[in-house]
Chain A
Amino acid sequence: MTYLVYDGSWNGLMTAVFEYYEYKLCDVSILAEKSFQPSLLGNEKTVITDINKASRVLASLSKKLSSNGFGKLFPVFLSEQHGIEDQLLNFIKLVFSSDKSPEQAYGNTCVLTIDKVAKMVHREKHRMEAFIRFQQLADGLYYAHISPDFNVLPLIAKHFKNRYADQQWLIYDLKRKYGIYYDLSDVQEVTLDISESPTEGSIFHEDEVLYQTLWKDYFQSVNIKPRKNSKLHIRHVPKRYWKYLTEKLPA
C-alpha cells in the first residue's frame, strides 16, 4: 500500500491523482496531511501540489464527463468525509477506463456513492442559502455566521454575490475558521479572530433589533395552530440549525 499524502487542497488532490498515473502506482490510498498517521505498513509519498498537473487532470475529466457530472466532483471533495479521496480516485479511474462517461451507471456502487455524497453536499449548500440570517452592524455591514456540516462556503459565494450585489456582507464559518466577504465588487476569503458572535447591542445598526423582532412576530403570526405538526417542522428545520435562526431564538 502506498500512501499519497497531499496538503488538503483540491489542487493537491488532483496532483495526487496525476501522480497515481504518472508513476503507474497501484494499491494506493490518498490522505490529507492532517489525517495521515505514519505507519510501518506502507510507503509514504508526499505529493507537492502542482497547478499544471492538477489542471491537466481536471481538463481531461471535463472532456469525458457532462458538465453536470463534472460539477459533482468538487462538492464531493468539500464533503470532507473520511476516505472521500479514495472514493474520488476510484470514480476517476472508472471514468478514464470507460469509453463513454459512466456517470449515470447507477448500478455501480462507486458511481452511486459519488452521486449520493454530491447530493448531500448540495442539500447543505441549499440549507445555508436558506438559513443564513444576516445582522446589520452599525457600519452597515451585513454579518452572518454558520457552522455547516460540510465546507460549503466556496459553493454559496456566487449565490450571495448575485443576490446582495448592492450590500456589503460577510459570512463566517465558525467551524472551519474562515469566511467570505463581499466588498461590492468581489468576494474574498478572509480569516478573522472571532470565536463568538458579536453580542453587544452597540455594534448593531439602530434598526437591527426592530427588524429581528418583526421577523419573530411574523413567524409566530403565520403559524396555524390547529395544523400543528412538530415532526414535519423538525424534519425541515433540524434542531442543529436553530441556534443561527433569528426566528428560533428566544424573544
Chain B
Amino acid sequence: MSERIREKLQILADAAKYDVSCASSGSTRKNHNKGLGDTGNGICHTYTEDGRCVSLLKILLTNFCIYDCAYCVTRKSNDIKRAAFTVQEVVDLTINFYRRNYIEGLFLSSGIFKDADYTMERLVQVAKKLRTEHKFNGYIHLKSIPGASNEIMHEAGLYADRLSVNIEIPTENGLKLLAPEKNRKDMIMPMNYLKDEIIRLNDEKKSLKKTPLFAPAGQSTQMIIGAGAETDKDIMYTSAAFYRNFNLKRVYYSGYVPISNDKRLPALGSQVPTVRENRLYQTDWLMRFYGFKVFELLNDKNPHLDLDIDPKLGWALRNLSVFPIDINKADLQLILRVPGIGVQSAQKIVAARKFQKLNWEQLKKIGIAISRAKYFIVCSSRDFERRDLSETKIKQFILAESKSKYLKSSSQQISLF
C-alpha cells in the first residue's frame, strides 16, 4: 500500500513541478470553526535545491491527458509512467502534510481525461471534501481547466482560494504552432467568468451582511519563456493585458526546461533561460509596485530587456534627462524610479526626511545601493556626481563595481559573439 502511494506521489509531483506558481498569500480565510488551518501572508516552508520556494503540496490528480501539447511533459505522445490519485488519497496527503507543518495547503492540477468538465469536477471534489468534511482552512489553489462550464467554475470558486489557467504560450501564433488542439478562447473563458463572479460577489458584500468567500486570493496565470520566438515585448504586453483585463494577482514566467526532441522546440540539453526569466520578473515588479507603464520599459525600439543590467537601470539610462533628483524633495513616485532604491527604502526615505535632511551616510544605512543610485540623485551633501557622464559610461562604471550574481554568466554569454 505505502509503496504504491509513494510511486504515485513521485510521478504526480514530478509532473507538476513545471508549474512555478507557489504563492500561498492573499487569502483571507481564517480558522473560525476550530478546524484545521488558517491563511495569512503566505509561508515558504522549504526550498528545493534549485532555489524555488515550496509552499504548497503541488501535484497533478492524474497525468493521463488527451492533449498533445509539444511543450508539456505530460503530453499524450510522451512515453512516461502514468498514474492517478483517488480523491481520498489527495485529501489524506494534504491533511497529514499540513498537520506536520510541511505545507500551507494544496495546489491541485491535472492532465485532462475524458473532457474538461469531468476533470474540473474531480478537482472540485477534492477541495469540497477538504473544506466540508475536514474543516480545512488552509490554502487551496485549483487549476481552471480550459473549457470547463460556468456551473463547475462557480463551485470551484466557493472552495478554492486561488484559481489559475496557464496560457503557457505568450502569443496566439505560438500556441497554434505548439498546441494546435488548444485555443486561447477556451483558456480565457473560465478566467473571464471567475473575474466577473469575483467582482459581482464583492459588490454584493457591500449590501449583504454575509457573503461566501469566493476565490479570495484571485487568479493567476503562467507563461513559458523561450519555448517559441516571442520577444520580451510580446511577453510583457500580453502580461500587462492579462493584469488589466482579468484583474490577475500574478503572472508567472517559467524559463523553458527542454523536455523533448520536438523540432519546434529548443533541443534537449539547451540552457534554461534563467537570467531572462529574472529580468521579466523584475519588469513585472516594476509594473506592479513601482508605477512603471509597460511601454516605458519595452517598445518597438527596445523589444528586448538587457540581460546585463536590470530593467530599471536600463530605463534610467535611456532617460537621463529626468535625473538627478533631490532625495530630500522629490515625490515618492520619482524616488521609486531611482536605480538602487527599492519600495521599502523609498518609503523610509520619505518618512525619515520629515525629521531631518538625509545625507549619503544615512541613505546607506537605510539600505539603498549607493553604488548604483549615486549617478541619479543628490542629497544633503556637497559631494555628488558632477561629471556629465554618458549612458555608456555610467553603465560601464556600474558594471565594473557590481558583484551581480548574473554578471559572470551574462558576460560569458556576450563573449560568445
Please give the residue numbers on chain A whose beta carbons come within 8 Å of chain B beta carbons, in ascending order: 102, 104-109, 112, 126, 129-136, 142, 144, 159, 162-167, 207, 210-211, 213-215, 217-233, 235-237, 245-247
Contacts and interface: CB of A to CB of B under 8 A. Distances in A.
22 contacts: A104-B354, A105-B352, A129-B43, A130-B43, A134-B99, A142-B100, A144-B101, A162-B38, A163-B38, A166-B35, A215-B97, A218-B13, A218-B57, A222-B48, A222-B54, A224-B18, A224-B257, A227-B52, A228-B50, A233-B48, A233-B50, A246-B102
A162 B93 contact: no
Nearest to A237: B47
B322 interface: no
Interface string B235-278: 00000000000000000000101100000000000011010000
Interface of B: 2, 5-6, 9-10, 13-14, 16-18, 30-31, 34-38, 40, 43-54, 57-58, 93, 96-97, 99-102, 135, 255, 257-258, 271-272, 274, 348-349, 351-356, 358, 362, 365-366, 405
Q: Mostly helix, strand, loop or mixed at chain B's interface?
A: loop
Contact of B362 (A107, A134, A142): A107
A227 B135 CA distance: 37
Contact of A126 (B18, B43, B135, B274): B43
B51 A229 contact: yes
Contact of A223 (B6, B49, B355): B49
Given A228-B50, A233-B51, A165 B57 contact: no
Contact of B96 (A166, A207, A231): A207
Contacts of A166: 34-36, 135
A233 B9 CA distance: 23
A221 B355 contact: no
A104 B351 contact: yes
Nearest to B349: A106
Contacts of B96: 207, 211
B304 to A, nearest CB: 22
Contact of A217 (B6, B17, B365): B6
Given A112-B366, A221-B10, A246-B102, A214 B51 contact: no
A236 B51 contact: yes
Nearest to B255: A227
**Which of the listed residues A104, A231, A235 has the most CB atoms from chain B within 10 Å of its own CB?**
A104
Contacts of B36: 163-167
Contacts of B17: 221-224
A142 B111 CA distance: 35
Given A131-B46, A217-B6, 7 more contacts: A105-B356, A164-B99, A210-B2, A214-B5, A227-B51, A228-B49, A236-B53
A228 B351 CA distance: 41
B37 A227 contact: no
Contacts of B5: 214
Most chain B beta-carbon contacts within 10 A, residue among A102, A112, A227? A227
A201 to B, nearest CB: 15
A235 B50 CA distance: 12
Contacts of A104: 348, 351-352, 354-355
Interface-central residue, B2, B16, B34, B46, by most chain A CB under 10 Å: B46
A232 B99 contact: no
B57 to A, nearest CB: 7
B31 A162 contact: yes
Contacts of A144: 101
Nearest to B34: A165
B88 to A, nearest CB: 15
